[in-house]
Amino acid sequence: EVGTQTRRLLRRGIPYGAASPSTLQHPTHDDVDRGLHFLAYQTSIQGQFEFVTRNWVNNPDFSTQQGTGNERDGVLPIGHDPVIGQAAGGGERHFFANFGAADGDRLRRLTTTTNWVIPTGGGYFFAPSIQALDMLGVGH
């Protein structure tokens, strides 16, 4: 719990581009540039965003406890994040899902090579607090 609390991010997704006309019944591909800008605010890029990405989202051995992620004795394996996880080298991503049994008896390993989220760029930007701007004489 303590390790989770120190990794919290204030995050927002901002959509861009025209809405897709695609539906479940009639999927279409129209080559329109659309997506989601991801913004995260935190006090430590390395201790929060980078840690979460490296150790939780993109970790094939991630589990609910400090284990290898492949044992069943008290540790629920999770694996890559199924939506935003990225496998090293673009290979297969594995994750685990529990289909109905709280004790993990129906735990299944799922594999995908399809990326749901495709990063196309990124950057780290400094956003000073209002107090810091006031100290510099450029606040409101």
The whole-number pLDDT of residue 105 equals: 65
Query: How would you label 114-129 residue by residue, b for 16+ Cβ within 10 Å and e otherwise?
Result: eeeeeeeeeeeeeeee
pLDDT of residue 1: 56
Q: Average pLDDT for residues 23-27, to the nearest whole number?
A: 90
Better pLDDT: 46 or 138: 46
Please give the mean pLDDT across all residues of the chain.
81
The stretch 76-104 carries a mean pLDDT of 78
Confidence label for 25 from pLDDT (cuts 50, 70 and 90): very high
Looking at residue 65, its pLDDT comes to 57
Confidence of residue 15 (pLDDT cuts 50, 70, 90): very high
